[in-house]
Chains A and B, each alone.
Chain A
């Protein structure tokens, strides 16, 4: 890592061990860790987009509660549970690193060693806690209270970033990518935690349908899905635009992305309204 001065002995030992992994051993000394983290951010983002489509599909089964419950029981197998737990890795990595990028690009936070160190500690803690919930499945919490707090924190993050960048000359879409990211930061982290605290909250159709009767929860889900689909869509577009020059190919791919996100939005919103 550049300016390696502030890294402790233990940390540089751990880094030297990690650098033995072949692809890292090539890129870490030649491009730096931030470069690898950026690729990680991109891959995690794309993984989450894939997971998001699958997630919207399984949720749409709620129209047939019996099928949904049967599917959820199938997914309760430890192999699937393990895979689902693994999703916590891209979730927390992309979220924390997205937060780091927003701090770096918009708030002039340049203390990268401290930020990355905090990311690693918080990330491991989160993965551990989610894992604990997956094994225990018995934690109880008031869903309304939980979401009230989380939505408040999200709104604060949203407003801080909004005020910081709204008046700059950046394109509106680019600004919205940062703004939606900051809103989703507490929401997404909270979502994965609360849905796996106990089995019923996330996997039992009756519990979910009951919760979905609340206009507050409906409102929260509505905003979340719009922000999520915009962020995911613009993210995918932004990756494509890095590789493809403006022209008919970029235009067609952009339309494809918009269609995919619009169809997902239709299914998602229909579900929220109907339940």
Chain B
């Protein structure tokens, strides 16, 4: 296996000043263990300082580096060049911004707008149950926690929402809906009524068609469609 790859990146560019969009091709000689964020940085250093992209933690924890590579939404800080060549069976990669929010520049999208959906789902305990008198903690049994802990690992990267068959329209989206369902499963949440209204509202779980693209792309390997189906099964 060669350790350097000659790869071609066809990157969607957008300049907000001139409102021009175009596709720019970069030829990069990249080590197999470079991540896509490293490749972008290499392009900035060696070829084109104007290419804009986003990242923050660079270890799959903050969700700010989502992009689409050959149609698949994923984290640029996680995808190795070697893996990309294997996975997509090519050396040419078409790179686009995720499609869930307006593009600010090149690969950078307005995550604030995307987060509006998550905020609409109120991703916190609206009315927490009072802590039991014996101690200062609210205890959740391991069995109960086990049923939903996977969903709490979501980093809101919006890869699922980008892949989803219907979240480009007026479905709140898989991650936002899941964060509502998680709180319905959380024994500490007492505000069930508002959560149920959100779940079965016009932008709620009916817009999900169990296409399971969300679970397919989630970089945290959360089986999102499982949780959405629990919402439809309606056992809360």
Contacts and interface: CB of A to CB of B under 8 A. Distances in A.
Interface of A: 2, 26-27, 29-32, 34-35, 37-39, 41-42, 101, 104-106, 108, 110, 112, 165, 168-171, 174, 238, 241-246
Contacts of B213: 31-32, 34-35
Given A27-B71, A29-B70, A238 B206 contact: yes
Contact of A35 (B68, B163, B232, B235): B163
Top-4 shortest CB links A-B: A32-B216, A168-B234, A30-B71, A34-B212
Contacts of A41: 209
Given A30-B72, A31-B71, A246 B202 contact: yes
A38 B200 contact: no
B196 A104 contact: no
Contacts of B234: 165, 168-170
A2 B212 contact: yes
B165 interface: yes
Nearest to A97: B210
Interface in B181-236: 196, 199-200, 202, 206-207, 209-213, 215-217, 225-226, 229, 232-235
A30 B70 contact: yes
Given A108-B233, A171-B200, A35 B206 contact: no
Given A35-B216, A245-B170, 4 more contacts: A2-B215, A32-B215, A32-B216, A174-B206
25 contacts: A2-B216, A26-B70, A29-B70, A29-B71, A29-B88, A30-B68, A32-B213, A32-B216, A34-B216, A35-B216, A38-B209, A42-B209, A105-B210, A105-B229, A108-B233, A168-B232, A168-B233, A168-B234, A168-B235, A171-B206, A174-B206, A238-B206, A242-B170, A243-B169, A246-B202
A31 B72 contact: yes
Interface residues of B, number: 33
Given A34-B216, A35-B213, A104 B163 contact: no
Contacts of A165: 234
B55 interface: no
B84 to A, nearest CB: 11
B200 A169 contact: yes
A41 B216 CA distance: 18
B141 interface: no
B232 A38 contact: no
A104 B72 CA distance: 24
Residue in B225, B226, B232, B235 whose Cβ sees the most chain A Cβ within 10 Å: B232
A106 B70 contact: no
Contacts of B166: 242
Contacts of B226: 110
B163 A31 contact: yes
Contacts of A169: 196, 199-200, 234
Given A2-B216, A29-B70, A104-B229, A242 B211 contact: no
Contacts of A2: 212, 215-216
A169 B204 CA distance: 13
B210 A170 contact: no
Interface in B158-188: 163, 165-166, 169-171
